[in-house]
Amino acid sequence: MGKRWGKLGRKTLRLSRSTPASAKIQSFPSRESFSGPMTAAANTSGTISSGVRVRFAPSPTGYLHVGGARTALFNWLFARRQGGAMILRIEDTDVERNRPELVEGILDGLRWLGLDWDEGPVFQSQRLDLHRAAAEKLLSAGAAYLCYCPPEKYAGGDAVEEEEDAKKEAGPRRITRCACREGKTAPAGTKPAVRFRVPQDAVTRFDDAVFGRREVANEEIEDFVVLRSPKAGQTEGLPTYQLSAVVDDIEMRITHVIRGADHISNTPKQVLLYRALRATPPVFAHVPLILGADRTRLSKRHGATSVSSYREEGFLPEAFRNFLALLGWSPGDDSEMLRTSELISRFSLEGVSRTNGVFDRAKLEWFNTQYLQKLPVEELLPAVQAELERSKLWQPEWAGEKHDWFAKTVDLLRPRTRLLPDFSTWARAFFSDAFDYDPAAREKFWKDERLGGMLAKLGDGLAVIGDWNHDGCDHVLRELAAAEGVKAGLLINATRVAIVGQAVAPPLFETMVVLGQERVVARLRRAVQALS
Ligand SMILES: [Zn+2]
């Protein structure tokens, strides 16, 4: 459980851990607050679309983080399962922290993961007038008031959320509300912020599709700012995250808000905003956090946290997607290898766990190896092609008249690969004549002084084979070993180093067949030179 939301009014928040989410969803207390979208939520295991609309809303303050990618994936799986729409919204209203150049990187990361969207990207910064109009509406309805106090004086001001959290103490919070709430004459020359007037003597409830019923006493919710006071030189203030997110979710008709559990502390305030704006809150589904192996929140200390670094390392997107899907979600049985179509058909909010997921790199590598080995080879070829293009080993004919050769070669190599770059490093000799002999392999298998002569004879013997196949190559090599009075293994190991430069490679005679007669003979002759 994340520290931040663990602090939120622990005395007033209740979890009904034993209640299955499906039951909770159908037991809403009042139709008044949860009518529309909740009907859709009850349909989470159905196949008929009920107008489901979800959004992924990253801020361009950094790269696409593993946690963000997992949230995007859950939204996408849910939308695809429900036949709904996925909307991409860029939350870029924080002008000080945003770096617009990062947007393209985030979109690239989503595209690499295969997560497409139906609408957007919508830039929140282009919608500020809409947000300000909502603040006006709140003011005129009496649901908000003008505050002339310095931003740092009362909780819920302009201060960064994290800083406020650091000040919070455990236990019920005592909220001091400023006098502006009761109406105050505007001091000359002071530009006000707009604060939300939290209704008193009430409890704010919502039913989280993952965490169940949540309740917080309004006495513990500060009169948060919805529109900041204009800065020097500005005539209008900027809306806060709380207001922008709610206004956009209403305007975009979002039915399900699926996001990280670190947002659970924002939700009571947002529910209050929905009601004040006369809108029905969506279904909230907070998904557990992702932790590192030491059970602290995933950060750079645990290794790479950006999606792009896994792409660069050579993980397959589908393997990464499968791995991410199981961080905080379970299909309900022990299945692990779930291709994307199965993830879609099995995904439900009921399967989302309340327990934080642990990012286990060894497990990710296991998934990658599984996909490299088990995908239909035709599905793997584009990824290997991209890798060979990157390493400048690619020949266009492998996609044309030599396609079958390419498929056969990849099939032969893949049981020994872990990451895509293995195809251009360890397996380089299968795609290029320009390769080096691995020094350790050479040291180990080229020690015998007779090998130069024997490899020369082997080259001569192989050069005259009429029908180039496994058994023919096998026969020539074993006959030579017998004639020379050496073990076949000595010759097999030396030949492997000669034709692929490595001590470990696919079975020798299959390798010979794939490389072809001309290449194998030429490489044996080159090895004879290297040995002399
Ligand atoms: Zn005030």
pLDDT digit string, tens, across residues 194-216: 999 999 999 999 999 999 999 99
**Which residues are known catalytic residues?**
300
pTM for this model (two decimals): 0.84
Residues 6+ positions from 81 with CB-CB distance below 8 Å: 47, 344, 345, 347, 348
Q: What is the dihedral of CA 25, 29, 34, 37, to 10 degrees?
A: 20
**Angle, alpha carbons 274-278-281 (nearest 5°):** 35
DSSP string covering 67-82: HHHHHHHHHHHHHHHH
225 CA → ligand 1 middle, Å: 10
pLDDT in the model for residue 172: 56
Mean per-residue pLDDT, 361-390 = 97
CA gap 71, 55 in Å, rounded: 10
What are the CA-CA distances from residue 25 to residues 20, 52, 273, 451 (Å)? 9, 16, 22, 75
395 pLDDT more than 50: yes
What was the pLDDT predicted at 50? 59
Is 38 a residue whose pLDDT tops 90? no
Q: How far is the CA of 179 from the centre of ligand 1 (A)?
A: 6
Q: Which residue has the tokens 């959004």?
A: 55
pLDDT, position 45: 41
pLDDT grade, residue 40 (50/70/90)? very low
Give one word for 189, left, alpha or beta, with left for phi > 0 and alpha for psi -120 to 50. Answer: left
Pairing of β 193-196 and β 144-147: antiparallel
Percent share of the chain, pLDDT over 70: 86
Residue 32 has pLDDT above 80, yes or no: no
The alpha carbon of 183 and the centre of ligand 1 are apart by a number of angstroms equal to 9
CB contact set of 395 (below 8 Å; sequence gap of 6+): 402, 431
Q: Which residue has the higher pLDDT, 390 or 170?
A: 390
Compute the chain's Rg from CA coordinates.
31
Please state whether beta strands 256-260 and 283-287 pair in parallel, antiparallel, or not at all (unpaired). Answer: parallel
Asked if residue 287 lies in contact with residue 70, where contact means CB atoms within 8 angstroms, the answer is yes
Report the alpha-carbon distance of residue 136 to residue 194 in Å, rounded.
9
- Average pLDDT over the chain reads 87
In whole angstroms, give the CA distance from residue 141 to residue 408.
71
Q: Residue 35: is its pLDDT beyond 60?
A: no
Higher pLDDT, 495 or 37: 495
Is residue 147 a contact partner of residue 227, using CB atoms and an 8 Å limit? no
DSSP of 356-409? PEE--HHHHHHHHHHHHHHS-HHHHHHHHHHHHHHTT---GGGGTTTHHHHHHH
Ligand 1 geometric centre to CA of 153 (Å): 8
Q: What is the pLDDT of residue 186?
A: 76
Specify the pLDDT at position 232: 79
pLDDT value for 339: 96
How many CA atoms does the CB half-sphere of 236 hold within 13 Å? 11
Q: For residue 420, what pLDDT is reported?
A: 98
Cα–ligand 1 centroid distance for 202 (angstroms): 22
Q: Separation of 172 CA from ligand 1 center, angstroms?
A: 22
Gap from CA of 181 to ligand 1 centroid (Å): 7
Helix/strand/coil for 189: coil
Neighbours of ion ligand 1 (CB under 5 A): 147, 149, 178, 180
d(CA 321, CA 370): 13
Contact 190, 149 (CB under 8 A): no
Res 185: pLDDT: 76
What's the confidence (pLDDT) of residue 208?
A: 97
Report the C-alpha gap between 368 and 318 in whole angstroms: 8
Q: Taking Cα atoms as reference points, which of 529, 527, 526, 525 lies closest to residue 461?
A: 525
Residue 243 has pLDDT above 90, yes or no: yes
Give CA–CA dist 424/430, Å, rounded. 9
CA distance 466 to 455: 19
Report the pLDDT value the prediction gives residue 43, as an integer from 0 to 100: 35
Ligand 1 centre distance from Cα of residue 189 (Å): 15
User: Given pLDDT bands bounded at 50, 70 and 90, which one contains residue 191?
Assistant: confident
Q: Which residue has the higher pLDDT, 187 or 114?
A: 114
Residues shown for the chain? 532
Q: How far is CA 59 from the centre of its chain?
A: 15
